[in-house]
Amino acid sequence: MSQPDFTIDVYQNAYLAEGARDINAIVTVRMAGSAAESPASATDAAEIIIIDCSGSMGSPRSKINEARAATSAAVDVIRDGVAFALIAGTHEAAAIFPKDGGLAVASAQTRKAAKNAIARVGPNGGTAIGAWLRLAHQMFSAHQATPRHAILLTDGKNESESSDELDAAIKLCEGVFTCDCRGVGTDWRVDELRRVSSALLGSVDIVPDPAGLAADFSAMMAESMGKRVADVSLRIWTPQQAVVQLLKQVAPEVEDLTNRHTQSGPQVGDYPSGAWAPGEIRDYHLAVQVARPGAVKQEMLAARVSLVSASPSGPEVLGEEKVLAIWTDDETLSTKINQRVAHATGQEELAQVIQEGLEARRQGNTDTAEAKLGRAVELAHQSGNEATAKLLLKVVDVVDAAVGTVKLKKKVEVADEMALDTRSVKTVRTRK
């Protein structure tokens, strides 16, 4: 198999003032090609759909009915030859297709059998998301295919097991498969599903109306079917005693990877980025602190960023770029802020202040909530993040977007608040 084609670009102001030690850069990674160019016959992938079948899914009955329809819609998108399975989740986890707990090979016959199996599942019992994940881990681990991806749907809180049990299950699954999470209705917890999706390099979102599940499931499965390269890592080398202070994905979503690295050598850490599709572009914010400042006009290699793919013969380097530091006594050079760095830090702050503002609102702290959400409105306005700006309008009345003056709405729909929370991490790329 030929090596996938990636490019890495680094954007930064390399000039530092005398005595400065902190370097910030935006690393943009692109996979060449487009989804349309992908080989439609590719079968080296595995999919598991995990559906909440607890008792609450039967109230109203439309939830379980739409969940079944959504599962069937997603199964229809799976390519022939791709391995797949279905899990029913209650206070325990059960493999409903195939019944033996393995993975079936997608074909017209197995897709029909899977849809027949999900049609027979009814709501009962409780909710134990950790148990669902552990069964998915067991099933994926017995199969060599990559990428390995799961869709997880729930309508409630993880009440049938402890928080520690869920954390242990999430930890078990890290690096084994990715997982997109969806909450249907408004009785589930955003922070709970975000713990799963964040650790497993997936997405989290709300589907307030069960009727929207089928389209969402189809879209998630189609996106997963477009992935061609699995287990790609960002490898960061730094000089002795230098420290990676921060590594965050900042586009298309904010995801903090700083503490997710594994040491692959002296001064070298590998940070997971998951699976990639042709044409995909992601931005990462890298902050490095060197051990000591250099002399004026001294240039230093502050970091080397590589993209590394796992392979049977060992890691393959798919691209590489340098992050530099140059000390200067020219204030004009050292105080200039790179536009992409400024935009990314603004998008990071936007996600943070939305989540802090919503938490303050839940706690009844109006002043803090209005200050935080006002700052969010200001940042969304500055960056052109129109989608987030529209979501904010469901929670606050905007007095002046340019300076972030807002008033909390007296009545806010729970679904609107949860939508703002789940989508707070979605970002826009810098304006040209």
pLDDT tens for 338-375 read 999 999 999 999 999 999 999 999 999 999 999 999 99
pLDDT band at 313 (very low <50, low <70, confident <90, very high): confident
From CA 204, how far away is CA 180, in angstroms rounded? 6
Nearest to 189, CA basis, from 347, 427, 414, 15: 414
pLDDT reported for residue 36: 64
Buried b (16+ CB within 10 A) or exposed e, 329-363: eeeeebeeeeebbbbbbbbbebbbbbbbbbebbee
Q: Is the pLDDT of residue 43 over 90?
A: no
Q: Which two tokens stand for residue 18?
A: 């005398």
Residues 6+ apart with CB under 8 A from 397: 406, 407, 408, 409
Which of 231, 221, 229 lies closest to 175, judged by CA?
231
pLDDT, position 230 = 87
Beta pairing, strands 22-31 & 281-289: antiparallel
Among candidate residues 345, 320, 327, the one with its CA nearest the CA of residue 237: 320
User: Going by C-beta distance under 8 Å and a sequence separation of 6 or more, which residues neighbour residue 235?
Assistant: 264, 268, 269, 270, 271, 305, 306, 307, 308, 317
- pTM to 2 decimal places: 0.95
Spatial neighbors of 356 by CB under 8 A, at least 6 apart, are 368, 372
Nearest alpha carbon to residue 304 among 355, 239, 215, 226: 239
Q: What would the pLDDT profile of 391-425 be if each residue is shown by its tens digit?
A: 999 999 999 999 999 999 999 999 999 999 999 99
Average pLDDT over residues 55-59: 97
Q: 84 falls in which pLDDT band (50, 70, 90)?
A: very high
CA-only gyration radius of the chain, Å: 23
Percent of all residues in the chain with a pLDDT value above 90, rounded to a whole number: 91
Q: What integer pLDDT is reported at residue 430 of this predicted model?
A: 72
Q: How far apart are CA 429 and CA 260, in angstroms?
A: 24
Report whether pLDDT(432) > 60. no
**pLDDT at 40 (0 to 100):** 47
Each residue's pLDDT tens digit, 169-213: 999 999 999 999 999 999 999 999 999 999 999 999 999 999 999
**Residue 431 one-letter amino acid:** R
* 30 pLDDT above the threshold of 60: yes
Name the average pLDDT for the chain: 95
Phi then psi dihedrals of residue 222, to 5 deg = -65, -40
Confidence of residue 38 (pLDDT cuts 50, 70, 90): low
What type of residue sits at position 7?
T
User: How far is it, in rounded angstroms, from Cα 332 to Cα 353?
Assistant: 31
Q: Tokens 């009962």 label which residue? A: 124
- Report d(CA 86, CA 151) in Å as an integer: 10
* Tokens found for residue 209: 């109306």
- Res 429: pLDDT: 85
Distance CA(254)–CA(426), nearest Å, equals 7
Q: Is the pLDDT of residue 128 over 70?
A: yes
Respond yes or no on whether the N-terminal peptide bond of residue 147 is cis (omega within 30° of 0).
yes
In this predicted structure, the answer to whether residue 144 has a pLDDT above a threshold of 50 is yes
Q: Give pLDDT, residue 34.
A: 79
Which amino acid, 159?
E
Q: What is the pLDDT of residue 357?
A: 98
At 315 the pLDDT is: 83
Task: Name the residue with tokens 């798919």.
Answer: 318
Closest CA to 391 of 366, 364, 371, 409: 409
Q: For residue 142, is pLDDT > 50?
A: yes
Q: How many CB atoms lie within 10 A of CB 211?
A: 13
Task: For residue 254, give the nearest of 200, 198, 296, 294 by alpha carbon.
Answer: 198
Q: Kindly give the pairing relationship between strand 46-52 and strand 22-31.
A: unpaired
Q: Which of 102, 86, 92 is nearest to 141 (CA)?
A: 102
Is the pLDDT at 41 greater than 90? The verdict is no
Residue 42 in this model has a pLDDT that exceeds 90: no
